[in-house]
Structure 1
Amino acid sequence: MDDVKAIGVSIRRARRAAGITQETLADLIGTSARTVHAIETGTGNPSLLTVVAAANAVGLRLGTIDG
């Protein structure tokens, strides 16, 4: 499994374990449920900041890159 899909699977598992919907997660991070779906399935082209926000919102820590 590639890294993008593995991150998405981890976010989905954590979201489900937290008992929240894709729509609720989307509201929490200021994006659409469609974007959350794209993150969780490793499809589309969500920004790195959005992926990190989703991970952080469900208790995962991916960190950020300071440039």
Structure 2
Amino acid sequence: MESVSAVAAGIRAARKEAGLTQEDLANLAETSERTIRAIETGTGNPSLRAVAAAANVLGLRLTVTR
């Protein structure tokens, strides 16, 4: 899925740009490091809440378009 890959790449790039580790982001987003790994690799089935929390911590905005 192209959109999942785009979200994964965007979150990973923003985290690295912010100088955060996956553990740091997990703590700030109040989720697990395993969930952050799943989000960044586009694998597993992280909840929308977890994805949104990670994006919010990084100052990213998730949008829904048609």
Same fold (TM over 0.5): yes
Q: Distance in 1 between matches of 2:11 and 2:35?
A: 13
Alignment partner, residue 4 of structure 1: 4
SS of 1:11's partner is helix
Contact 1:5-1:42 within 8 A present in 2 as well: yes
Contact 1:52-1:63 within 8 A present in 2 as well: no
Residue 30 of structure 1 aligns to which amino acid in structure 2? Answer: E
SS of 2:9's partner is helix
Alignment partner, residue 57 of structure 1: 57
Structure 1 residue runs of 5 or longer lacking an equivalent are none
TM-score, normalised with respect to structure 2:
0.89
Alignment of 1:37-56 (within 5 A): 37-56=37-56
Structure 2 residue runs of 5 or longer lacking an equivalent are none
Residue 41 of structure 2 aligns to which amino acid in structure 1? Answer: T
Deviation readout 1:35-57 (Å, 9 max, x if unpaired) = 10000000000001110110111
- For these two proteins, the number of residue pairs brought into alignment is 64
